[in-house]
Structure formats: C-alpha cells, structure tokens
Chains A and B, each alone.
Chain A
Amino acid sequence: ATSRRAKMAASVERVVGEAPAGYTALAVKFGARQRSPHYLLVKEHQLREGAGTAHPPHRTLFVLNVPPYCTAASLTRLFSRCGDVQSVDMCDKPGPGEKEEKLKSKFFNCETVTGFRVAYVVFKKPAGVRAAKALSQEGPLLISTESHPVKTGVKKWIASYAASIVDQEELKAEVDAYMQDYDKKIEEEEAKAAKEEGVPDEEGWVKVTRRGRKPGLPRTEAANLRLLEKEKQKRARKELLNFYAWQHRETKREHIAQLRKKFEEDKQRIALMRAQRKFRPY
C-alpha cells in the first residue's frame, strides 16, 4: 500500500499531462478530495468536407475522455470561464455531428450515453477555444464543488429511481397526441393508395395491392421460398426411383459411400478422444 501512496503522490506533482500532437491535456478531478486526475484531451474541432453544421468550426472544442460522472451541465460550468458556452453535446464516440431533428419525447427512445464519452463544446466566440486550451497550465479542474455538487452513488440512484416514476397524465397526453398524428398519416397514405388503385402509371403498369379485388401473392421472401419448394416437390414426384439398372447401381454405390463417410467420421472422433485420453475408464 505504501508504494501506491508514493505513486499517487508522484502523480499529484505531475499536473500537466502529456498529449499527442494536436491535443492538449487538461487534468480533471471529481472533487478536491481526490488525488489523481483524469486527463481530458481537447483540441479544436476540425470539420471534414461535407459534414454537418451542428458543430461549427473554430468555435467548437472537441473533448475526449470525459469521465462518467461529468455531466453536460458540469462541462458547461467548467468551460464557461473561457467564454460563453452555446451548447454541449455528449456522444459515445466521435461522430459526424449531424443530428436530424427528431421528435423529442420525454418517455420514448431516450437512451443516455454512459461511461467515458466524448463531448463537443460549442462556444459563442472562437476565443473560447483558445482560452480552454490554455487551462492546461492551471491546476486540475474540479467537477463537483460545494456550490455545484454533482450527485453520485446512493444519492444519484435514489434520484434516478424517483425520476423513473412517470406522471400518468403526461404520458397519456403524449401517447394520444402521437397516435392522432399517426392515424392521420396512415389515413392519408391509404387515401392515396385507394386513389391509385387500378390506375396504370406512365408506362402502363398497374400496381396490385392486397386491398384490391384480386390480391396477388404477397411479395415476401417467405412466399417466394414456399413457391420454390412446391415446384421442387412436384418435380420429385414425377421422377422414377430405382427404375433403370444404372439407378440401382448408383443407389448401392451411394449407400457404401455413406457408410464409408460415417466410418471415417467415427474414426476421427475416436482419434480425437484417444488424444484426450477419453478411453481411460478410471
């Protein structure tokens, strides 16, 4: 244990961490009580050609290795002293940053990323990025302070248990709203399909659907396979077995070949078991 202490002491002195080219290492600790920091690797976010605009160049700081207890709010707080923070985006791994604006729901499809993550911190001004990089010269950043405590452990779990209890009215309202939209959409689609029913397109093709008067075979893979199977059976029924002498010969030959193959397989198994000394009864 003593050697561990010594190691920890050594790591306290070494606040400025090493970083690969292009990156700056920022030491970050959970609170004042912790001894050894993690190192955030930050750099200015560079855009590849044709990527989206959610993270504008020059103003976005790309942060690697964000510890699990560090929330978007605490990142905002940490970096706000370098300049106004416009948004913080946390992801599991670096991505294109192009977010299609989905219908946000409080109850559905809300997966949170956990563990060590990457973050895109968008400042209002490019100066923020430069100021953030300069933080490496200062002492380790603290995620949880007395004025802004971050909940972990039992407190956090109790809080998330409380959050898991849903408000019934709210949920009901949301479901109802969604279903109304959905029904409307389906209705529209059906109306459109009904209008096209039996009407040939420009090249003269008529679309056959299951709603029409003569529903064709459904276009699924299973239906296709079934059809093939039927064909095969039909062909097999027509064939004569052991009718010609050569067929007879062939069957016999096949039988011996099967026996041989089985024999060969058995021999292999035995050889393997012998190698494993499986035949020692005790």
Chain B
Amino acid sequence: MNAKPRRAAHRTVVLGGGAARRGKRAAPAEALQPAKLSRAELYKPPTNEELNRLKETEDLFHSSLLRLQIEELLKEVTLKETKKKKIDAFLHEINSLLSAIPETPETELTDQGWLPKDVKVPFLQVPFSVKGRFHFMPPTELKVVGSYLLGTCIRPEINVDMAVTMPREIFQDKDNLNQRYHRKRALYLAHIAQHLSKQQLFGSVKFAYMNSNHLKPILLLRPQGKDEKMVTVRLHACPAPEGATEPPTPHYNNSILCDTMLLSHLQFLSSAATDFPGMKDGVALLKVWLNQRQLSKGLGCFSGFMVSMLVAYLLMKRKIVKMMSGYQVLRSTLQFLATTDLSVTGISLVKDVDPSLPVLDDFQQAFEVVFVDPSGLVNLCADMTASKYHQVQFEARYSMEILDDRMVDGFQALLMTAKPMLRAFDHVFHLKHVSKLQGTCKKMQLLSELMDRGGNYVAAALPFIVSLLVRGLSGRALLVVHSLPQTPEWPIDAEPPKHKDVGPLTFGLLFYPDFAASMLEKGPQADHPEALDFRTFWGEKSELRRFQDGSIREAVVWEANTAYQKRLIPEQIVRHLLKLHADIPESSICYMGALLESVIRTGKEASGTGEEAMVSVVRAYDDLSRKLWHLKELPLMVSSVQGVHPALRYTDVFPPIPMKPIYSFHAQIKTKHMLLPSEKKPCPAYITPLKMICHMEGSGQWPQGKDAIKRIKAAFHLQLAELLQQQHQLVCRPAVTHTDVYKDGYVFRLQVAYHREPLILKEVVTPEGMLKYQDTEESRQLEVEIQHMPYVTSSLHGLQQQHPVFGSACRLAKRWVSAHLLGDNISEECVDLLVAFLFLHPAPFTPPSSPQVGFLRFLDLLATFDWKNNPLIAVHKRSKFAAARSCLPVMFIATPKDRWSSMWTQERPSAQILQRLTVLASESLHALEEQLMDPLKTQDVKMVFRPPLDFYDVLIHLNPNQIPRHLESVDQPVKSFSRGVVKNSTADKILFPVVDYDPVQCYLRELRDAFSDLALFFYDKHGGEVIAVLWKPLSFQPQPFKVSNVKGRMVTTLNDKLVCVPNVEAILEDFEVLGEGLVKSVEARTEKWTI
C-alpha cells in the first residue's frame, strides 16, 4: 500500500472526562424519576374539567402519553404568534412594493434588452426564438395563498405563498402554445425581481423552481438581518381567472391550468378548514410524517398542498368528520392512503357531475397518478410517478401496522425518526450522470413525452426507467423507488440551472428476503407467445432451459457462487437492464449494495464473505453432536448438546477454516501427541476452540458436593476423549475443565455440564436449618455458561434462519466495534442482541435484507438510543425500570428469558465506554452516509473502520509475526507470515494442533492483571498491530500512602507530604518486559503523568 490510509476525522472525547457535547443537542440530561403523588392528591374528588380531559384522551387518542407527545410536537413545529406578527408586517411591505413597480414598454418576447444585465430570465429559453410580445404591468391582485393562511405551515421551513395575478392585458391569443405563457411568466417575475433586489427590505432575492418543475420559476424573498431564516415568501405569478376551455391532458397544459386555480384552491381549502381545529393539527402531523420519509420535496413530491387537499377530500367523502382530533385525521388519512391505489383508480374533488368536464378515465390515460381538483380540470398529482405513489402507499400501510402494534412506540417511529434512503432501503444505487438520460429518451423513443415535459429529459425518462426496473426485479423487490430530482435555488443574476444540475439520481430497492438472491428467472414456455416478449426483455441473457418437470422454458440464470455474490444479483440485473434498454453505461451506475463487506472477508482472493465457511462449521458440529448422543459405554447418557461459540449462531466475525498443522513448524511433545508453538518461528495460526456444552442426564449417581462434581466432570472429560477416540477415531485432548476434539479440521471444545450444579453452588443453610439459595459469583458465571449462553446461541441461530443476513450484519457490527479497539469492553453477545433488536423491532423500517443497511442502522441505534431512560427490547413495565434505574447497568437489554438483570451488559460496557461508543457511532454513521450518498467521489468506506489513535497516552506497537490473526486486519497487511498450517479437513491421525494460543491475548491479560487500576488497555483482536493505553486520570492524582494502594506506585514527597504516585517510567519498561518477543516498541505520546 503506497498511500497512508485515511482516518475518519473523529472528534476525540476524553474518556474519563464527563459528558461529551454533541452539538446543540447536549442537554443536561437527568434520568427519569418515578412519579410521586401524595395520597391526598391522588384521591381528591375530580373536577369536571379533569374528567372531561381523561375521557377525551380515551376517545380521541391512543393513550394519554401519545396525546401529550403530539401536543409537544405540534408546539415545536407550528408558528409562534410573535413570529406571525412579524411575517404579517413583512407581507404588507411586499404588497405595497409590488404595486409600485412601473410598467415597461411593449417589446418582442425575444427582445430582452429592457432587462438589466444583472438579472437573468429564470427560464430555459430553448429554442430562443418565439413569436409574441411582452410588457410589464403591475399585478391586478396580490393574495396570500396556501398553508400560511390555513395555519398548517410548519417549521423549520416556513414558506408563505403569494399569488401575483398578472393582468389580462399582458397575454395574447395562443399564449398557451410553445411555452409562450411560461416565458411571459418568467419575464414578469424577472422584472419584479429586478425591482425588489434594489430594496433594503430583503436579505436575499432568489429564484427557484416550484417543486423543481423547470416550467415554473418562482421568486423567493427573505427578510433582512437575523430574521432571514425565519420566513421565505414565494411569489407565484398566475394569470387572471378566465373560463378555461381546453381539456387538460398533457403535463404542459396541466401546469398552465394549475396556475389559474391557485385562488380557487385556497377558497376550497379554507371552507374545509372552518370549524375544524383537528385539520390544522392533522395536516401538520402529516407534513412531518412526509418530511421524515423524504417524500415532500422535489419534482413529483407529495407536497403539503396535496395533503391538505386529500384531507379535504376525505372530509367531503365523510371519512373524516369535523369532530376529529389531529391524531385521528392522521390515522384516517394514512388508512385511506394505505388502502387506495391512486395509480389505478383516481379520485376527484368535483362535486357535481358535469358532462363538459373530462372524465377520470381521460386523466388515467394521461397521468400515472390521478387526483383531480374541485374544478375538474387539474390533476394535482401530475408530476408524481406511480413508483413514488406506491412508496407513499407502502409507508402508509406500514405506519398503520406500527400504530396498531402495542409493542412499538408509534409516535417515535412515525413522526420522530427520519428515514433516509440509505437506511430505509436494502440496496441503493446512484445514476452518476443524469445527462445520460438524454440517450435513454432516444433509445426508448420518448420524444413526445420529452416535448410534453418541456425538454426535461430527467422527468421524461424517469417513469419508464422505474417501470423497467420494477418489471426486471418483480419477485425480488417489494419496492423500487427513486429520489426526487431537486434543483437548488439560484441568485437572480445567474443563469437558471440546466436539467443535468439536479445532481445524481438515487434509486432504492427493498427486497423480499426469500427471493432477492434467487439465481433463476423462470420465463414462459418456449412455444408460448409471451416467450418472445421475455426474450426481448432480457436480451441475450435469456436462454432455453429444460426443467425438472419436463417443461422447456425461457430462463435467465445469473452467475453467483457464494452468498455474497448472490446478494448482488440485483446489481447484475440493474446493470444489465439499464444497459440493454436505457443505454446507460455501467460506468455511470454506482451501486452501493455491498461496499462494506470487504472488511469481513479474509484473504485477497476469497470470493465470499464467509457464510459458506459458517455452514460447514455448523455441519461438522451437527455431526459431532449426533456422535455424542449415540456414544456407547458412557455411564450416563448425553441429554443435550448445545453450541455456545458465535460461529455456531453465524455471527463469528471471521469463521474458522478447517486447518491441519505442519509438524516441522512446531515443537512437539511426542509422548502426548501434541504440538507446541516454537520460539523460533512466527506464532502459529490461531485456531478457535468451538465451545459446546454437553449436558449429562440427571441421576442419583451425581454427587451433591461442589468439589466432587468438579472431579466427576473431569472424569467425564477424560472418558469422552477416550470413547470418541475409540469409537470414532477422533483425536482428542482432555483437560480438567473441557475436552478438545479435532474434527474435520476444526477444534471443538466439549464442556460437560450438570444442570443442578449452579443450584448446588448457591446453597446456603441458615442458622435455623432452612435451605436458601443465594447467587454467588461462581454460580452466576456457571449459569451464564451452561444455561444462558446456549439459549442465546440457539435463539439467534433461529433468527438467522428467518433473516439470512442477520449473521453478516452482526459480523459487520462486531468488526466495527473491535476496529475501534472497544471489543474487550462490550460483550459479543451484547452486540449480537443489539443487532437482533434491529431485526425484531425494525419500526419504522422493515427488517434489513442486506448486511450494509443492518450495519448502518446499528450505528444509528447506538448513536441515538437513549439508554438513560429506556430499556432496549421492552418486555416489562417502564415505570418499574424508572424506579430501579440507578442500580441497573448503563446499557440495559432485556430479553424474554432475562427480564430483570440484563445479563450481557452487567459489567461491560462502562458508562464512559458507552459514551465513547455513542460518539464514535454517530461520527462513523455521518462519514459513511456522506460517502455512500456521493457517487462522484471515490469511496473509501474502510475509513470508518480505522480508529483514531490521537487521544491515547501510550501506544504499544507489536511484532506482526507474533500476531496470529494478523491477516484479519482492516487493511490487508503487505507482508504475511507462514503460520504453520495448511487448509485441509481430511486428516484422521494427526498430532494435536496448537489451540487457543494468542500471545497478544496472553499479554493483555497480564497487563490488565498488573495495571488495571492505573490504565485502560484497548486492542483490536482482529489483527491489530497496536495496543492503545489510556491512563486513568483519577489514579494519577497523588494519594496518601496506604498498604493496599502501592501497586506499581512509588512514594515521593510533594509539598512536604509523603504521597504515592504511579511509577510511570518503570511501568513503561514493564510493558516491554512483560511482552518480551511480542512488543516492538512502546511509544509514550503524552506527558500527562508529570505530576
């Protein structure tokens, strides 16, 4: 590697030093206290008002908590009265300014000399020459329309829409042709802009496209000074109302008609909103809901205006009544969206049937999604693609499910959680250069659509590309969505943005987990007429195949050998189809499906990410357990065999690979048929013992004393080794606490267990002679080992069967934790459970179907979950949690079997480590999302797996040849060492290999034993070359001499007092002494110990 790897620019946080500030959000958070009410308060007679409120909550809201939450949220997003007054004043001033703009003389449309140089026409004038004349006249009417008047506009972006009615005199006949109307409109706005930009009143005067529709420029006005962010006034120019005559079919006409209706729409909505306080709240909530799902901005969005219209429609249809609360409006609207497909059956707001108006079917033919306005002429959803509507519908349906699920905090999931595409969709890919879509329009013969869209090739090609993908991925993808093209606003002296300026287009795929990776695309039978269609669709990939049932069909078979490659079959499909039908070269597609997975792959040439290795481990394990059950001549039967190693639940970061030792590489003990590591050679490869618990049946023969049980277990270990050797020719190595078995190239570690042993360890006899059970450290540990570990392993194994990517997501998460040197500070089971939570309670998302999205959500969970006030996987009452908060671990994870102790987080992580994890997670997530969303930069996703090392006090550099897992490091090491093994699984009579020998772990153990009260040690067990040391600030304060407190310290005089301080120089040398042969150098980076 020539370039130095980039490291993520993480903010560093001093571990010992209190809370880290996270931007604005850092609030002095205190933990929740249980509610205390005095008896008198609890039982006083209720007032009428109180009873009413309690009753209302029951009727109109889900629960009182939800009601309070919604009230708070509304308070947060709605406009304050004081602001409103300021805005009103601002609007008045604009009003007077606008009516004072002078007229201009009449000129040809192409003669724009009257416009000064520093104002450009906000319109793409192609072709430039067009007939017609234009002159400016002051507007006939100025009126505020839209959400501001209805009171439904919400923060953070307060937009006030103002309709500027252009006088009829400006227009000529046939202005509706050749974009003449649009051009006049643009010129009109340009003239206004020129005048307003001279005024002191405004902080900025800019142009933008209304909903990114390039035919509809609008003028944005913002007030001067610190109020600039407060409000944006958007000027829409619209023609004076006149009797519209032509039937609206294409998008072009629709956009003209839409302008004429601005005022009448306002009247319609305000009549709906009278006497209906719930509507205001409901629309605000729906807008927040849409915003969180990124549906409310861009071309073809589901805008706030449509939401209001939809609510008005439901009111008209009596699906909503004026009595309803905001929450019920939200619910009913979602319910309607979930059950109605507007892309199949459109809806109309027209009250009376008028034969002169076009019928719904006409709309249906011209547009993908149909929602007709009260005039019966305008389609409000003209720009929306069917795919976008399906996304809205899908979200609505899923939100309804969430609301009905009592286990999920619906408020949080629906309204407070953002769903960016990267985290919401399993695979995401970008179209780097949208200009390539011009070629697509040609290839797909979309010239008439292109004309209809006024030359916007992105808008013209998008629906066709999406429907192409939907067809190609049908059966695999539940949802294919696209990002909404968005053009930024621009200053008035700049040219308007071109179509290609919308930036990269992003697509998201949501999979059916069971079918996404299928290798076969089964087509119709060869002699059917549809066969031709199938062939043209898939091109040369389609071939004739004979199937098992004897039929001969057209079929496409995709090339994939490993699970990793299979997960990327959708990528092959996307690339193939876009190239074949849309003329989009592979180089402009940037597929973000599996970029991260390289960090859980070992070896340069490996084609998979270890799923296959894991399966073969499990197969060997199953075989061994069968052999154990049927072992003859054992005094007691084996009652059950349960695996506890992560590899046996598919979550081991690097699964073991079958290996056979090379004898000449090792030292040997001939008499015992064992190999030993040799001092002269590099350290042998690390062979993980795959631990399994072997329960023996209960029987009266078991002794009831704890020491005796230990002896009997040792005897069992000896006997198991002997019998396995005799009956199955397996090489074994018995020890006191376990027996290692070498099988198929793996080493399994059998541990015999007796189910009553923890109970016997707990036994205490009280002085009165009563038998009591009391937890001891030893019994707790044993219980974890023989009861809880197997339980977790088997239930996570089950989860893997339901969600095939669970294992890989877990492995990515664990790799990340360990890469940041925190692997020893948080138990593996804890990370596994966190990831399992993402699969079991994914709301508001769907369960992940790709490891990458699982990992991103894991980071998000770590970064945002409020551990202080909430347990994870809540299965019990929250109030009980609050009451006991102070004595529970910092990170509380409850599982159905373990509700009250949070077993896997008892000791680790500590509060500081959790704090650091949170910070690291949010930084990593941020860096990663930025990279994955920007296809134009080079992607170095490994960046987030390189730990920042600058804030550690001492770095201990290690000798790579003594690191057995060196190959697992994030960046492939340049030099690799022979580790004395060959990959092989067919060895029966061998010397027993070196198992579970990792010098670095031995070293760390010694370091922690000796210096744990002075320093913390951090290490990445997957091939890290550095042990990072952090001094504990507290123990570096001089302390008075105490016999129990001199470990590693020296006595010195400070201010005439004898005190103990750490003997740092000697300790640094101890680091070298203890790790002789392993440590390359000890680098002290700070002088913090100077006292």
Task: Give A residues with C-beta under 8 Å from B.
Answer: 1, 3-4, 7-8, 11, 17-20, 25, 30-31, 34-39, 41, 64-65, 67-69, 93-94, 107-109, 114-116, 118, 152-155, 157-158, 160-162, 164-168, 171-172, 175-176, 178-179, 182, 186, 218-222, 224, 253, 256-257, 259-270, 272-282
Contacts and interface: CB of A to CB of B under 8 A. Distances in A.
B707 interface: yes
A268 B1051 contact: no
A74 to B, nearest CB: 13
Given A157-B999, A162-B669, A38 B1051 contact: no
A37 B999 CA distance: 26
B76 A280 contact: yes
B936 interface: no
A155 B418 contact: no
Contacts of A281: 73, 76-77, 288, 291-292, 415-416, 418
A257 B1065 contact: no
A38 B711 contact: no
Nearest to B1075: A153
Central interface residue in A36, A186, A267, by most chain B CB within 10 Å: A36
Interface string B759-791: 000000000011111000000000000000000
A219 B770 contact: yes
Contact of A108 (B34, B707, B772): B707
A4 B1063 contact: no
Interface in B21-35: 24-25, 27-30, 32-35
A85 to B, nearest CB: 22
Contact of A264 (B35, B676, B1066): B35
B679 A154 contact: yes
Contacts of B707: 108-109, 178, 182
B733 A69 contact: no
B1087 A3 contact: yes
B962 interface: yes
Interface stretch (B132-140, B691-699, B897-905, B1041-1049): B1041-1049
B43 A257 contact: yes
B994 A260 contact: no
A282 B997 contact: no
13 contacts: A4-B1065, A4-B1084, A4-B1087, A18-B1050, A30-B1073, A35-B1065, A41-B1046, A107-B714, A165-B733, A168-B718, A182-B703, A281-B415, A281-B418
B1065 A36 contact: yes
Given A253-B43, A263-B64, 8 more contacts: A7-B1065, A25-B1050, A38-B1048, A68-B1009, A115-B1011, A165-B735, A221-B773, A281-B418
B46 A270 contact: no
B606 interface: no
Contact of B32 (A4, A36, A38, A272): A272
Contact of B1069 (A34, A164, A276): A34
A67 B1046 CA distance: 11
A279 to B, nearest CB: 5
Contacts of A25: 1050-1051
A262 B72 CA distance: 18
B107 interface: no
Contacts of A224: 770
B1041 A20 contact: yes
A94 B1046 CA distance: 12
A38 B1046 contact: no
B734 A168 contact: yes
The 3 A-B pairs of least Cβ separation, nearest first, read: A153-B1076, A154-B1077, A116-B1047
Interface in B694-733: 703, 705, 707-708, 710-712, 714-715, 718, 721, 733
A152 B1065 contact: no
A39 B54 CA distance: 72
B708 A179 contact: yes
Given A18-B1052, A153-B1074, A162-B676, A282 B292 contact: yes
B910 interface: no
A107 B1075 CA distance: 27
B475 interface: no
Contact of A153 (B46, B711, B721, B1077): B1077
Given A20-B1058, A115-B1047, A282 B869 contact: no
B703 A270 contact: no
B1053 interface: yes
B674 interface: yes
A161 B994 contact: yes
Given A161-B677, A175-B715, A38 B669 contact: no
Given A20-B1041, A279-B72, A257 B771 contact: no
B734 A166 contact: yes
Nearest to B1079: A153
A13 to B, nearest CB: 13
A168 B736 CA distance: 9
Nearest to A113: B1009
A181 to B, nearest CB: 9
Interface string B940-976: 0000000000000000000000100000000000000
A269 B76 contact: no
Central interface residue in A18, A154, A167, A263, by most chain B CB within 10 Å: A154
A261 B962 contact: no
A268 B72 contact: no
B708 A178 contact: yes
Given A94-B1043, A115-B1009, A165 B72 contact: no
A259 B51 CA distance: 10
A171 B721 CA distance: 13
B999 A154 contact: yes
Given A25-B1051, A220-B771, A281-B73, A114 B1006 contact: yes
B68 interface: yes
Nearest to B1040: A20
B1 interface: no
Nearest to B415: A281
A35 B64 contact: no
A198 B734 CA distance: 47
A114 B156 CA distance: 60
B64 A266 contact: yes
B1010 interface: yes
Contact of B869 (A222, A259, A272): A272
B3 interface: no
Interface string B406-448: 0000000001101000000000000000000000000000000
B984 interface: no
A69 B1044 contact: no
A44 to B, nearest CB: 14
A30 to B, nearest CB: 5
A18 B1041 CA distance: 12
A154 B1078 contact: yes
A115 B1013 CA distance: 11
A77 B156 CA distance: 77
A39 B34 CA distance: 52
Contact of B68 (A41, A166, A267): A267
Contacts of B292: 281-282
A165 B992 CA distance: 11
Given A161-B676, A281-B291, A269 B32 contact: yes
A276 B29 contact: yes
B879 interface: yes
Contacts of A162: 669, 676
B37 interface: yes
B1053 A18 contact: yes
A172 B418 contact: no
Contact of A154 (B25, B72, B674, B962): B962
A118 B1048 CA distance: 12
Contacts of B714: 107-108, 171, 175
Given A114-B1006, A281-B292, A158 B65 contact: no
B1026 to A, nearest CB: 17
B1052 A114 contact: no
Contacts of A267: 68
Given A68-B1010, A68-B1070, A282-B292, A107 B736 contact: yes
